[in-house]
Structure 1
């Protein structure tokens, strides 16, 4: 019996090792020079024949090699002539690493019971061993804002880099903001209960908004008090009033966006972003006046209303950018974790519908970094910033040419292997042997 148990343990260990995520890369030990590539800086600039020096995980130099000459003979040189270099793409508002298999409850940790959970931290539930996480890196997605779901206040998100042993190693920005789901002023009838499925006014809208106001008032009263029992939800929310945390309000309709902005102003919230923002293009003046940024809902979506333009989801980013709104792309929705790998192609679609390629690139690099508060370190190829970048055979916003040869996170050369690439190689060999 003991021998049988031993065999079972060995079998499970073997299965675990053969199916585990790629081993995280080691810390950079030698200075690296990437020469000859077209560098897409992420701030709208391009350097056609670039020289990029990476030292101690940072970008030491990002220059035009035709103008600036730097001795690179003592460095590890990567000849990227004819290729393209991009800053690592950033996916915000994602449950990446919080759920592995939707049908297996034990792997689903993206929400908590209750409605008021600002103290729930997504970071400590983040699974660095997720096969979904490793599938994003071959498309250039190297950072993510891991965000909880559910309730009126879902919890607190954090920003992680996608090559780590554990959540402690993964942290790029800890507890960056709190996520509030704004009530909808309209609702659909529950057809499965025999109700009219058409849109109708939400009779509880005013009551639900008041509940949010009451919670915020209670938090401010708690902060002014002393010698009281510790209240974790209130403690977590205090950061919204001193500027240490951002408030992300998930809302799509025009009235909801207007009410959410006014609510934030009235309650002294220092920093706020609209998440989803389907109707944001209708209130651009209000957004700009109040310095409100937008994480725009998934580009590859159908129009929300029957009288909307068929291509509205594709061109909304251009409308917002042209008006001067700080906008970035997010990818929540059906199969959001798996579809997160398509982030660069969402940006590519916005380029097809009016933005320049460099403007589209900003939607998933520097703009996102600014909104998440990590632009001092990530989001663009600028000297002194983290060497989080990748080399692509061609245009990284085009699925036909987004083919990575190298990727770095904080200067570490990471693996681009995944479960999918393993299977691709396996069955390629099978087909080759049949010829």
Structure 2
């Protein structure tokens, strides 16, 4: 049991708290308010002069499957033997001892979604985990949390360079359609008990039944339009991952009830798809009412720069409250777990970060990270 006294800061939903007590029991927030009695058996953290926020969430990472400091042996995020590998599950490749997860905790990031890479048109299933633990199965918040797909240059380069489909954007879209149709046929045949199990099509069927969303890597405007076209054609739930040129069509995107994971904007313009990348994408989505989260795409931009990405968005016009929600409650909504994390509310997981000052001042840092009611990182200034 834990109590945080004199807590001031941000709830995560756009509102603030000032000089309150937060009681935590059994990994959950038990109560928040003024003049709350703290039972004698509670450990107490004094947050006077500090700033409290919910644990940060990165909705699009390759933590644990693209290990830092290891080399090729740690690159377990792309199964490039085929252009479609829906049967792959990220959970089978996550190393819970990977250094990036330590960096996450020290940076106030308590929840991440871990995805296969974007080499394939369909890359496989993803999982949402907490950033502390020694056994992945005990870290899981939700699994599967979506099926990864990718448009654009990556599948063209990886498979087209081998002389295999897809070699064009048309080919990428056609292959994705083909697999979705195979999934529809599989569902019909399975219902009539004509065929046995097929793991690849079984995972695609989860998208068609709206059990999980399709999460589609799309940078350029034409790829975003293709993704939205597929959403209409197959009546599926999906999110757009990256959305780099989404500012060119923000009003159009707003008509489609879709959330976007924006980033990694801090990276260089290393390929044609990133030519128009910039912080204006965030403000354009905010102005158009498009729900979005901010991502590092770790390790493209390392996880410790998740808050830095929000700060850069603020520098270029994003309101602070909107920026924080893109790392907390809106991020939780993007991955479908806002009932559990993303804001400091009674009944939710006790994922709390205490900063030594304004988190939007890059000179400040995390002093305490609490995950499921336990201190998983502590820094003495």
User: What is the TM-score normalised by the length of structure 2?
Assistant: 0.89
CA contact (8 A) 1:303 1:313 kept: no
1:273 is matched with: 239
| Pair 1:203–1:132, CA change in 2 (3 A) | closer
Equivalent position to 1:403, from 363, 366, 370: 366
87-96 or 372-381: bigger deviation: 87-96
| Structure number with larger C-alpha Rg | 1
Between the aligned partners of 1:207 and 1:214, the Cα distance in structure 2 is: 10
| Pair 1:111–1:47, CA change in 2 (3 A) | same
1:10 is matched with: none
SS at match of 1:238: helix
2:64 is matched with: 97
Between the aligned partners of 1:203 and 1:297, the Cα distance in structure 2 is: 25
Between the aligned partners of 1:142 and 1:305, the Cα distance in structure 2 is: 31
Map 1:3-152; keep pairs closer than 5 Å.
30=1, 32-63=2-33, 65=34, 69-74=35-40, 75-101=42-68, 104-112=71-79, 113-149=81-117, 150-152=119-121
The answer to whether 1:361 aligns with 2:289 is no
Q: Which runs of 5+ in 1 are unaligned?
A: 1-29, 189-201, 426-435
Q: Offset at 1:99?
A: 2.6
Map 1:9-408; keep pairs closer than 5 Å.
30=1, 32-63=2-33, 65=34, 69-74=35-40, 75-101=42-68, 104-112=71-79, 113-149=81-117, 150-184=119-153, 204-225=168-189, 226-269=193-236, 271-302=237-268, 313-332=278-297, 335-336=299-300, 339-404=302-367, 406-408=368-370
Note the alpha carbon deviations across 1:162-211, whole angstroms, 9 max, x for none: 111211111011110011111359989xxxxxxxxxxxxx9733233222
1:193 is matched with: none
CA contact (8 A) 2:353 2:366 kept: no
372-381 or 259-268: bigger deviation: 259-268
Q: Offset at 1:277?
A: 0.5
SS at match of 1:36: strand
Q: Offset at 1:47?
A: 1.0
User: What is the TM-score normalised by the length of structure 1?
Assistant: 0.79
SS at match of 2:279: helix
Between the aligned partners of 1:111 and 1:301, the Cα distance in structure 2 is: 20
| Pair 1:385–1:186, CA change in 2 (3 A) | closer
SS at match of 1:214: helix
2:163 is matched with: none
283-292 or 119-128: bigger deviation: 283-292
Note the alpha carbon deviations across 1:5-48, whole angstroms, 9 max, x for none: xxxxxxxxxxxxxxxxxxxxxxxxx2x22111213101111112
Note the alpha carbon deviations across 1:223-255, whole angstroms, 9 max, x for none: 000231321110011111222101111111111
Q: Offset at 1:367?
A: 0.8
Between the aligned partners of 2:70 and 2:45, the Cα distance in structure 1 is: 44
Between the aligned partners of 1:207 and 1:132, the Cα distance in structure 2 is: 35
Q: RMSD between aligned alpha carbons?
A: 2.6
Q: Offset at 1:375?
A: 0.5
Size of the alignment, in residue pairs?
Answer: 366
CA contact (8 A) 1:178 1:245 kept: yes
SS at match of 2:278: helix
| Pair 1:108–1:47, CA change in 2 (3 A) | same
Q: Which runs of 5+ in 2 are unaligned?
A: 158-165
Between the aligned partners of 1:362 and 1:208, the Cα distance in structure 2 is: 33
Q: Offset at 1:330?
A: 1.2
SS at match of 1:48: strand
